[in-house]
Amino acid sequence: MSSHPNLLKRRQVLAGAAAGAAALAMPGFMGRARAEGPLKVAAIYTVPVEQQWVSRIHKAANAAVARGDIEYVFSENTSNNDYERVMREYSEAGHDLIIGEVFAVEDAARQVAADYPETAYLMGSSFLPKDDAPNFAVFDNYIQDASYLSGIIAGAMTKSNNMGMVGGFPIPEVNRLMHAFMAGVKETAPDTKFQVAFIGSWFDPPKAKETAFAQIDGGADILYAERFGVSDAAKEKGILAIGNVIDTQADYPDTVVASALWHFEPTLDHAIEMVKAGTFKAENYGVYSFMKEGGCSLAPLGTFEGKVPEEAMKLVMEREAAIKDGSFVVEINDEEPKSS
């Protein structure tokens, strides 16, 4: 993928993740308090802003723009080979906060942060903050709470007790959501079998669709759509799907029963507050994706309202309340899920 052609001009309006239930304060505070007025924020994305994960970051940034908190520029489709250069350009341009995802360019990104100690970096990462990078905070989409709840619904809707799951890569941020979904399914359909596959890409809808077709041929009557393309396969074959990160119910009104939504706003808003106060530091921002922090939710059922068994919805509501008050904790399992 190539970097965005108008790198600095285009303006519009995250291996120790299991430790990440808590926000970890690390030593070393960031510079000075910023002057009054909007912060200069830049984002670097390796995929289009329409892609599920990135779209949620982009949405939160645009909301901050609308409030007058930040000025925002971004680059999309930035290749891994080009990521460091783009990151350095934004740093040189004097941005206060740079956000993005560095899963494949971790070492290079941390070196850039070391070279620009007065710039704040908030990056999607599988790793924890480190002492030697006090201005490099990390985040991740810990939306296992909502994924678990969507699984309860899926388990109540399956007839074949066979589900297909198509993911991008078997990395912690995908694995934990799949495991949480499977745990939810087993609450209402304990004998369910799972077909698990990864397509080796973050954005390849045709490949995801093809993989989903194979799982449908294998007996799946519900698909877990971790990637774009899966819900298209479900729609074509007349079966159901469960969404991930974004709400696609309106696009697939007869297909998508439920979705686990990620809300990046609590993560970004905390970073903005810290940068403005001059107290930004290396922290694990993963906690801000938890349901009790407002970082994830179960999407409205839309056209499926009233079609999910009442007992299942009662369990969903009970567990949601327990998750929010801390009396029920969804397990964070970052190991690669396997077909059963």
Average pLDDT by stretches of 10, the chain with 340 residues? 32 32 40 74 94 93 98 97 98 98 93 97 93 93 96 98 96 94 98 97 92 98 95 98 95 97 97 97 96 97 97 98 97 96
Tokens of 227: 């990637």
- pLDDT for the residue numbered 290: 97
Q: Residue written as tokens 């000075």?
A: 32
- pLDDT for the residue numbered 117: 97
Confirm if 231 and 223 have CB atoms less than 8 A apart.
yes
Cα 279 versus chain centre, distance: 25
Instruction: Write the single-letter amino acid at 304.
Output: F
Confirm if 241 and 255 have CB atoms less than 8 A apart.
yes
Q: Residue 42's beta-bridge partner residues? A: 73, 98
pTM equals 0.86
* Parallel, antiparallel or unpaired: strands 39-44 and 70-75: parallel
Q: List C-alpha distances in Å: 205 to 48, 54, 58, 232.
A: 13, 16, 20, 9
- pLDDT for the residue numbered 31: 54
Task: Name the 3-class secondary structure at 274.
Answer: helix
Q: List C-alpha distances in Å: 261 to 120, 144, 167, 180, 270.
A: 27, 10, 16, 14, 19
